[in-house]
Chain A
Amino acid sequence: MHMAEKVAEIVFPAATTDVTPFEVHVPHAALDDLKKRLANARWPDKEPVTDWSQGVPLARIRALTDYWARDYDWRRAERALNALPQFRTALDGVGVYFIHARSKHERALPIVLTHGWPGSVFEFLEVIRPLTDPTAHGGTENDAFHVVVPALPGFGFSDKPAEKGWNVAHIANAWAVLMKRLGYERWVAQGGDWGAGVTTALGHIRPPGLAAIHLNWAFVFPEKIPTEGLSQDEQRAVDAEKIFRTQGAGYFLEQATRPQTIGTALADSPVGQAAWIYEKFNAWTDHDGDVESALTKDQMLDDISLYWLTNSAASSARIYWENSPSSYVGGKIDLPVGVSVFPREIFRAPRSWAEKDYSKLIYWNELPKGGHFAAFEQPAAFVRELRACFATIRV
């Protein structure tokens, strides 16, 4: 147990450039405080619509937070994390938390998996063992990975940067240092959402040792989108991006411009923090009308609890500020790139554009099911994608 108890706050041990084992133990006072706040929640009036168009419906957030207060067990999530080897190490002055699960197969391919917002290391819990231990999970020894799953700076059990400048390129450089520090000389990287941003940056930086990348959200928009002659896939991507930008990016613009202001509200209200994230699970997963057909309440609340208990609403929102103005123009990458397109992604990258940006497109697959939180929603399919994609570059 590595956390000092100071009322309901979690204080991380100071990280050094050593790789120090870390376990999660949230103080009981923090869990009590959470329940007290949930019991004492003050609610707005009911939305004047009958769907999610104005955000999370009142009845839905009340149901989720009732469950959070009464039935949800953070200690279960904590045990799941503590069953994995976890560490913290200082990268460029910031203590970075990561899960590091080595395969028993010596020739396994090291991979760094990067989450996004509002995801976390929890997205990957179900894929770690199938990746490290393929022979027990329908694969062969040749499919094995050594798995590194860091929490982004400002997220989860990583430190919150006290200085600005932690954009995706900065994070990518830190990841390269991390992989080197772990002794990996040839490795690959994977990500979606901001994890795709970091992974794309790695593709540009090409740190020594990085052999290939895989994205489950590829940013392949051209600098200038042609006004005519778009293929069906290209038009679909343009349309989806426009809907996102005009109707679904309020959280984005707020976090990109005033993360501290929104963070101050979400730091003080677990109901506010839950709604802020729950909305995105509903909007971005592949479900049948009920988000719980894609992710269980427990899964969503593991992730939401991690944000709440580590008080990282503001610090996580700052990744938008750091990278603003953002775009979906990822640019050309000459390193081998693999892409898996999940159907309920915010927008689906067209292969034609990927072929223009990625000179070595080693893998492309469009899946029948899954959304933005690919590993969280479809862990088995996600594992199959990584096995198939990186089979081509193993030595």
Chain B
Amino acid sequence: MNNDLQNRTGVGAPTISRRSFIGAAAATGVAGIVPAGLGSLSLEGSAMKAAQFVLPTATTDVKPFNVHVPQAALDDLKKRLANARWPDKEPVGDWSQGVPLAKAQALVEYWRTRYDWRRVESSLNALPQFRTQIDGLGIYFIHVRSKHENALPIIVTHGWPGSIIEFLQVIEPLADPTAHGGKAEEAFHVIIPSLPGFGFSDKPTEPGWCLPRIANAWAALMARLGYSHYVAQGGDWGAGVTSWMAKQHPSGLAAIHLNLPILFPPPPPPSGGYTAEEQAALAQLVRYGSDGSGYASIQGTRPQTLGYGLADSPVGQAMWIYEKFQAWSDNKGDPAEAISVDRMLDDISLYWLTDTAASSARLYYESFAKDFVRMPLEMPVAVSVFTGDLFVPPKVWGDRTYSKLFYWNEVPKGGHFAALEQPGLFVAELRKSFAEMR
């Protein structure tokens, strides 16, 4: 690798401790998350102004970034959780009206008394993280280069209510396959951005950050990192972004992999009508529309109104997400069978601490009805369908939509949050599907 690339990507930025980072940040102006108007050195123990924090202004440089949530924000969170006011118990015996009160209270009790945000913060800060301005917006991303020079660069995109947290367990196996049951030829350079309005990316202040615009930004990011031959991967909104990248076909993008292929609305029925397998997938779509899409409908139309309740109530924010972990992961009733409570709370805490309920919901306003739909794609597409997902489309729909569908596999375990639920299987799918793109 040449020095120029090294500089631009920040590769080799040392993993530094939080305290030494704070010192460095004060010296360089590269701050983590600091309270408005405060120097980063004065964070600890300060119970300042509503525990708000501000991201450092991004430029078109690729700047190292570390996460340090002010203690005041964590204290404020615990205070709110202790002070929660609860609704009456649901009049049903299951999740059919949403998160049952007893489950909600148990999760919140764990969050308040046992959960440790600093643990996940350390995990994040053990990874090279950056922010750079693209199309006017500061974009956060994790960028882990493999030691194998011929590694295939991959940009992996999360969805809602997921985040970069989904991928924490797959980064090392992807970047360092020889230490994780794979071969050097299976290595990836891994780039994991936060969507605009999510996590440590900026919140757009103007409308227009729809899927095609994000896809454009991701192509610009990969170019800025010096990658001229790469692949892209995603599920949920990440599959939307990834599909739009394939549609736009930026130079350098060689193939994509989706773990939720956007095969809705479904292709028109063949002359003999839909098969039984197709009917089953249609039934999933109908059930989603009638019983499972309330969150999408409100986020798609009035994200701001919804955002007030969720920005003010960590309990509300937690349940808004917890419900989806339960509904969409591969479990028999309890989401903790599929995803550990700590991992769910890592993701929930990220939404809460960055106050991104409204800004993340706005992606539905921007794109849910308009851009998040089946599109014929001409570039190579690979699909892994995790059968515990809420939508398990038949391969024939993929064949009718993607002219170069070079990989299709049904993975019998795991659901919507594939990388989070089944990191080993997720890694195996990416190694297998992209083997021929190298």
Contacts and interface: CB of A to CB of B under 8 A. Distances in A.
Interface of A: 8, 33, 37, 40-49, 54-58, 61, 160-164, 246-269, 271-276, 279, 311, 313-315, 318, 321, 325
B90 A48 contact: no
A264 B316 contact: yes
A46 B205 contact: yes
Contacts of A279: 302, 305
Interface in B64-120: 76, 84-92, 97-101, 104
B101 A260 contact: yes
A325 B362 contact: no
A314 B86 CA distance: 10
Given A44-B355, A258-B97, A265 B301 contact: no
Interface of B is mostly: helix
Given A44-B357, A250-B302, A265 B362 contact: no
Nearest to B304: A55
B265 to A, nearest CB: 15
A315 B88 contact: yes
A49 B207 contact: yes
A251 B306 CA distance: 9
26 contacts: A33-B85, A42-B76, A44-B304, A44-B311, A44-B359, A48-B204, A48-B205, A55-B302, A57-B304, A58-B304, A247-B301, A250-B294, A250-B298, A251-B302, A258-B323, A260-B101, A261-B320, A263-B87, A264-B315, A266-B87, A268-B85, A268-B86, A268-B312, A274-B308, A314-B87, A325-B290
A374 B307 CA distance: 29
Nearest to A57: B304
Category for how many chain B residues contact A: 35 or more
B258 to A, nearest CB: 27
Given A40-B50, A271-B309, A276-B309, 11 more contacts: A44-B311, A44-B359, A55-B307, A56-B305, A164-B91, A250-B300, A258-B97, A266-B316, A267-B87, A269-B308, A318-B91
A264 B87 contact: yes
Contacts of B284: none
Nearest to B317: A265
B99 A55 contact: no
Interface of B: 50, 76, 84-92, 97-101, 104, 203-207, 290-295, 297-313, 315-317, 319-320, 323, 355, 357-359, 362, 365, 369
A313 B291 CA distance: 20
A255 B294 contact: yes
Contacts of A37: 312
Contacts of A262: 98, 294, 298, 309
A256 B290 CA distance: 9
A248 B300 CA distance: 10
Contacts, number: 188
A267 B85 contact: yes
B168 to A, nearest CB: 26
Contacts of A164: 91-92
A56 B295 contact: no
B298 A260 contact: no
Contacts of B291: 257
B104 A264 contact: yes
A63 to B, nearest CB: 13
A55 B316 contact: no
B304 A264 contact: no
A264 to B, nearest CB: 5
B97 A260 contact: yes
B71 to A, nearest CB: 16
Nearest to B366: A48
Contact of B316 (A43, A160, A265): A265
A56 B308 contact: yes
Instruction: Tell which of B88, B207, B308 has the most Cβ of chain A within 10 Å.
Output: B308
Contact of B355 (A45, A260, A265): A45
